[in-house]
Amino acid sequence: MDIRDRILKGAGKLFKELGIKQVTMDMIAQSLGISKRTIYENFRDKNDLVNNFISLAMVDHKKRAYEILAGSKNVIEALFNFGIFNQSAMKDVNPLFFNDLKRYHGEVFHKNILTGEARNFELTYTILRRGQNEGVFIKEINLEIANQFIHYMFDFFQKMKEDKQCNQNLIWTSVILPYLRGICTEKGQDILVFFLKNTENQNNI
């Protein structure tokens, strides 16, 4: 691992643990056992460091998402696996991280989270198309429109979370699950019920 990657990994760890604002260049340098000058030789300023960390994290997240999709028996299983992965990835992230990202690094937030790698139209389209090919999603849905609608929902969820009007579970039960049921074939419904019951049983263990 070269020094630039070490800095990104070390800084990212601190950002997620403490929030971005709390972390200084001195703290990053001390945690990595390097000089602050070394950081500035690789990154223009803290905003540049944050931008590069977020960009790298989004690329890694996208890669993992496609690996999950490829390794799942069907798209319903993939969706549940996405949920498990995202839940695991987010459990150790300080809520201040995203608050600070939006408040103090708004351009980075907009570029990466709202319109960049995090907004992956290609992945969601691939999921919808594969679902139709597997006979899990109904053929009647227009993939382009359905895909666009999914991302409109993402915009809505983002606003709801920012306004603290609902949590992830409420979003799942009130919007995502009913929508998913609506586009499933009978085969898809059976698979969905199986995974819902399996998830419920695991939560009760």
Q: Is 178 helix (H, G, I), strand (E, B) or coil?
A: helix
As a whole number of angstroms, the distance between CA 108 and CA 48 comes to 9
Q: Are 76 and 188 in contact (CB under 8 A)?
A: yes
- Looking at the DSSP bridge assignments, the partners of residue 130 are none
**Given a cut of 80, is residue 50 above it in pLDDT?**
yes
Average pLDDT of the segment spanning 139-156 = 91
Other C-beta atoms within 10 Å of 95: how many? 9
- Tokens 């993402």 label which residue? 154
**Considering the chain, what is the average pLDDT of its residues?**
91
Domains of the chain: 46-204 (1.10.357)
**What's this model's pTM, rounded to 2 decimal places?**
0.87
